[in-house]
Amino acid sequence: MTKHNGKYYLQYGAPGTEFSGYADGVVVGDDPLGPFTPQSDPFSYKPGGFARGAGHGATFQDKGNNYWHVSTTVLSVKNNLERRISICPAGFDKDDVMFCNTAFGDYPHYLPDATAVESTIKSAAPSAYFAGWMLLNYNKPVTVSSTLGSYTANNAVDESIKTYWSAATANKEEWIQTDLGEVNTVNAIQVNYADQDVDSSFLGKLLGVYHQYKMYYSEDGKKWKILIDKSGNKKDVPHDYVELATPVQARFIKLKIYTCLPVSLPSAG
């Protein structure tokens, strides 16, 4: 429950956690014990994009008084309760309607200024802190060193958290290469990892997991330069986001694996 301008906003997780329409709703009252009136729209709702569903959450304010909503997004691949945690800007509009802006919530955003009171506006459009960087390799051509069964190369660029590419072996130097179609400005890279050959009955945190790779970029597919070097990484980063200190011009992005674990969506933006 969140109190704002003398009103009480009771938030709840709607049923259907295994579906992409999984959402949080809100009812409003003048007293913390009710009675309450439902708002007409879902409070936290994300039916599309890479990570879908934004329910079972909680709302809080940061040190700058900006509102944020933390919620769970759906995988349900290895286990029906498989989830990820999302955080999206939230707040109240001029009519005291409580909102959560999930538009492009799985894309890069800037943190709001610490002195800001409201983090965004109520709109279907991206928030005021959306970086504006778009996915460059969505459904673009992909080549790989090998493929394990049905975990094919195109799964890596279909913008679905439920699918992924996996190499056929655990040998070092397996690789995946994506063609952006033309030379683009690349500002950031995100590599999302999936759990392959993991006991689906295991519900806790797997310890000692990490991924090592080097990533290269090229304008012509012939001359390559190192873009990211994580060949010595020992940290578990399931959704490995790297913002480049200096954007590069590239058409081809290639990831060479050093510790070979399943990879999903090496995305460029």
One digit per residue, the tens of pLDDT, for the chain of length 269 reads 999 999 999 999 886 766 777 899 999 999 999 999 999 888 998 988 898 888 889 999 988 888 999 998 888 887 777 888 999 999 998 899 999 999 888 899 887 764 444 444 555 566 778 889 999 999 999 999 999 999 999 999 999 999 999 999 877 889 999 999 999 999 999 999 887 776 655 556 667 778 899 999 999 999 999 999 999 998 888 899 999 999 999 999 999 988 755 444 444 44
Domains observed in the chain: 2-100 (no CATH), 142-268 (2.60.120.260)
* pLDDT, position 7: 97
Alpha-carbon distances of 242 from 59, 76, 192, 219, 256, rounded to whole Å: 27, 26, 11, 20, 16
Q: What is the pLDDT of residue 128?
A: 75
Half-sphere exposure of 45 (CA within 13 A, CB side): 13
What pLDDT is recorded for position 133? 93
pLDDT at 98: 94
Q: How far is CA 268 from the centre of its chain?
A: 13
pLDDT recorded at residue 262: 47
SS3 per-residue string spanning the chain:
CEEECCEEEEEEECCCCCCCCCEEEEEEECCCCCCCEECCCCCEECCCCCCEEEEEEEEEECCCCCEEEEEEEECCCCCCCCEEEEEEEEEECCCCCEEECCCCCCCCECCCCCCCCCCCCCCCCCCCCECCCCCCCCCCCEEECCCECCECHHHHHCCCCCCCECCCCCCCCCEEEEEEEEEEEEEEEEEEECCCCCCCCCCCCCCCCCCEEEEEEECCCCCCEEEEEECCCCCCCCEEEEEEEEEEEEEEEEEEEEECCCEEEEEEC
Give me the pLDDT at residue 153, please.
96
CA 253 to each of CA 7, 104, 171, 247: distance values in angstroms, whole numbers, following the listed order? 51, 23, 21, 13
Record the pTM.
0.85
The pLDDT value recorded for residue 200 is 52
Residue 268 has a pLDDT of 47
**pLDDT value at position 4?**
96
165 and 174 in contact (C-beta within 8 Å)? no
Tokens 């460029």 sit on residue = 268
**pLDDT at residue 223, rounded to an integer:** 97
